[in-house]
């Protein structure tokens, strides 16, 4: 593993930990040249389905886009990074479990909404307000009333 600080090619693993749900391995490494430490994560390399946008374009699935959308909805809400990571893991497990080569973006959005609803109702409403593109205030009010029940 190349050192991110000095680009030296020899690093040593100082500590290895398996995540709580055993989905990835966290390794603390130390550079043999500059002696700085850094962390790496090992995850299995799997192929996710392509995401089909509303206009028919196909794009690669990107975990970072899901994480960014969820983080935006959860901004200033009392939800930990670990909870968000677990929610994304559940979404990815669902995607892989479907065994599809392609998935519609609106279906993926519904997976995200379900997870946000479990994490935080305010974030769920925030995400839905953008995702569902409400036409007027009455539609939005109806949606909020349903969430309250």
DSSP secondary structure string for all residues of 79-139: --HHHHHHHHHHHHHHHHHHT-SEEEHHHHHHHHHHHHHHH-HHHHHHHHHHHTT-SSHHH
Residues 112 and 68 in one domain: yes
Number of domains the chain contains? 2
End-to-end Cα, the chain, rounded Å: 52
Q: Give the pLDDT confidence score for residue 43 in this predicted structure.
A: 82
Contact between 84 and 74 under an 8 Å Cβ cutoff? The reply is yes
Question: Would you say residue 138 has pLDDT above 80?
Answer: no
What confidence category does residue 143 fall into, taking pLDDT thresholds of 50, 70 and 90?
Answer: confident
In a domain, 66, yes or no: yes
Position 13 pLDDT exceeds 90: yes
22 occurs within a structural domain = yes
- Percent of the chain whose pLDDT exceeds 90: 65
Q: Can you give the pLDDT at residue 124? A: 85
Residue 1: inside a domain: no
Residues 66 and 138 both lie in one domain = yes
Question: Which of the residue ranges 7-11, 26-30, 130-134 would you say has the lowest mean pLDDT?
Answer: 130-134
Containing domain of residue 77, as a range? 50-148
Whether 6 is covered by a domain: the verdict is: no
pLDDT tens by residue, 27-65: 999 999 999 999 999 987 778 999 999 899 999 999 999
CA distance 139 to 115: 22
- Residue 44: its pLDDT value, please? 79
What is the largest distance, in Å, between two alpha-carbon atoms of the chain? Answer: 63
Q: Are residues 81 and 137 in the same domain?
A: yes
36: in domain: yes
Burial category of 76 from C-beta neighbours within 10 Å (exposed 0-12, middle 13-18, buried 19 and up): exposed
Q: Do residue 66 and residue 26 come from a single domain?
A: no
């Amino acid at each position: 593993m190349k050192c991110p600080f000095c680009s030296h090619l020899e690093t040593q693993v100082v500590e290895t930990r398996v995540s709580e749900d055993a989905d990835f391995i966290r390794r603390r490494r130390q550079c043999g040249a500059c002696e700085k430490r850094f962390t790496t994560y090992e995850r299995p390399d799997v192929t996710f389905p392509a995401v089909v946008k509303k206009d028919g374009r196909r794009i690669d699935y990107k975990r970072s886009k899901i994480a960014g959308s969820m983080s935006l909805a959860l901004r200033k809400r009392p939800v930990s990074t670990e909870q968000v990571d677990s929610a994304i893991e559940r979404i990815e497990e669902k995607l892989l479990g479907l065994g599809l080569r392609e998935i519609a973006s609106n279906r993926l959005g519904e997976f995200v909404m379900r997870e946000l609803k479990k994490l935080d109702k305010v974030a769920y409403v925030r995400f839905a307000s953008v995702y569902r593109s409400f036409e007027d205030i009455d539609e939005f009010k109806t949606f909020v009333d349903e969430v309250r029940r």
